[in-house]
Chains A and B, each alone.
Chain A
């Protein structure tokens, strides 16, 4: 048993280290980090987009405003060169970061006035097609100079004075390289924030997952503490979070069943040893005494005959135990056939006729029903029950064998007697192997103490059940329930 436990833990470990089966902590951390990363990226992208579009909008508004200013100057004061010069030549220089350029051209495309140095960078042909003087400028064109500086360009016609006909072309440009630098800087910071965020959320994820998984680890530790000698340990569902409580309950139930089977098993081994001890002791003793001195042939014969009886008893016991062991293996199948239940009942009754008559007990058969079962096993079950009933029914008692089909189509076979009855305390254990109501009686009866265990096994094999009711001094009723006859022929053994 302990060896098995070791095997189990090693297989559990090797399973968890295989590449495709991450630990739950790892999975949780991974998913947690992934979702945190997702949120961070989404918000960063959004903020970035807001920043960029805001900057662009401001630039466009700035240039549009400049165009409007120049239009106003050109319209209102077409002759006043100073104002124009002020606006075109010197305005651009006043900005600290973004360099602003402006140029006024006449209708033939000759430069009238421009911001100094503009000609070197931004020739007039670079500018987009101008909008007409009644249109409001909105969006400029982006352009990148040879040295990599980005510019925003805008062009518009402006009326010269109030007279119709004369127009001037206004070209304005803004060096936006500073803004690009700002955006790049922002991007860098975002990246740093993002990576820090990932690290942080991963760390938090690990911590959260570990904390979440702690009960599981503790449950595992508790489970590992349970060994054969400490089968009574329980995980106690109340201590655990709701998700694990179900597991703990299931585990505890399993332990209950295990402990129960284990107790039964060790009880069985003890009983078996005890049952074997008596006949073996008889055999050894008789043989030793017989050999201790020379005897008459008749005495030897008696010893041998006595041994033969013990051997027969042992052999029957082995036979019965083998039957029980086989019945418990799920592979066992039984050979069902359809037969008349009453007829089989009568056959068994006939077998016991002589014995019943001798004991002054009346045996009666009642009812009838067709039955699909293993004929030999059916007879054996009935025979064991009748034999028991005869053993515990006093003279002038009555035993009734009855068979009937119940409303749910089960076939119920009952053996009821007017015997001594059995105390309620014994009833639950009556079908255990070697269980005896009165240990002192065990050797007096010829039974092996396996009769009722065999009955239960037979019923299990049929997918049916056995029940017992008893009232001391009044009698006992044992009833066998066979499942409906329409059952498939090769139905395997099912749990009782």
Chain B
């Protein structure tokens, strides 16, 4: 998958490129809006990460011109401006998502994957990681053939982790997806909930599936 980053701040561009490359993407970086426009038209990218505040031609107009010329590559806006109007403007211009600085890299990665996954992807009924199996239709989870006794929220948390297995999910994202709490909370509520989930999913078994990534969040994977 090829990603184009249009970002004039060198440090930001640097770590984005590094992080995304290491996650298996092919990444190009340009610093100016005009170059970005040129690359977007000529290169075959699957996603463009666009900074709003660029010298000369800003992100808004790059996106506007792109969409006008029929270029439909998904665009993820990245900016320090986060008023509601800015968000709305970005989305109205045809951006696929909007991320406000400072953001966690894991968050960016999750959004990038989510955009690239969009489309006619069909949700399977059952998901399986190692010996863990969850049935999304019947709200049933089993591990090594044994039924796990989960509360509805615990099941929601587990299915989120399983659906996005291998992705580091931040606490904010988890609170948003499982409890619909769309704001940053200072609490360690998510930690406690994950701990309780672990006690049911991992503790009885030698192989651990849910891992803490310190400073970032949680990931479920078969290591």
User: What residues of chain A have their CB less than 8 Å away from a CB belonging to chain B?
Assistant: 304-309, 311-312, 315-316, 318-320, 322, 326, 347-348, 350-355, 358, 376, 379-380, 383-384, 387, 390, 445-448, 451
Contacts and interface: CB of A to CB of B under 8 A. Distances in A.
A315 B215 contact: no
Interface string B110-129: 00000000000000000000
B179 A351 contact: yes
Contacts of A351: 175, 179, 181, 189
4 closest A-B pairs by CB: A308-B215, A305-B214, A354-B193, A351-B179
Given A351-B181, A387-B189, 12 more contacts: A309-B215, A311-B102, A316-B186, A320-B184, A348-B181, A351-B175, A352-B187, A354-B195, A355-B187, A379-B183, A446-B188, A447-B186
Given A307-B215, A322-B82, A312 B104 contact: yes
A311 B179 CA distance: 25
Interface of B: 82-83, 102, 104, 153, 175, 179-189, 192-193, 195-196, 214-216
B179 A315 contact: no
Contacts of A304: 215
B14 to A, nearest CB: 16
A289 B184 CA distance: 32
Contacts of B193: 354-355
A383 B175 CA distance: 12
B193 to A, nearest CB: 4
Contact of B186 (A308, A318, A355, A448): A448
The secondary structure that dominates the A interface is helix
A446 B189 contact: no
A354 B187 CA distance: 12
A382 B142 CA distance: 35
A354 B196 contact: yes
Contact of A312 (B82, B175, B182, B215): B215
B214 A308 contact: yes
Contacts of B182: 376, 379
B189 to A, nearest CB: 5
Contact of A358 (B181, B192, B214): B192
Contacts of A353: 153
16 contacts: A305-B215, A307-B215, A308-B214, A309-B214, A312-B104, A319-B184, A351-B189, A353-B153, A354-B192, A354-B195, A376-B183, A383-B187, A387-B186, A387-B189, A447-B186, A451-B186
A308 B192 contact: no
A275 B113 CA distance: 36
B192 A355 contact: yes
A308 B216 contact: yes
Given A311-B102, A347-B180, A352 B189 contact: yes
Nearest to B193: A354
A445 B184 CA distance: 16
Contacts of B185: 380, 383-384, 387
A316 B102 CA distance: 9
Nearest to B213: A305
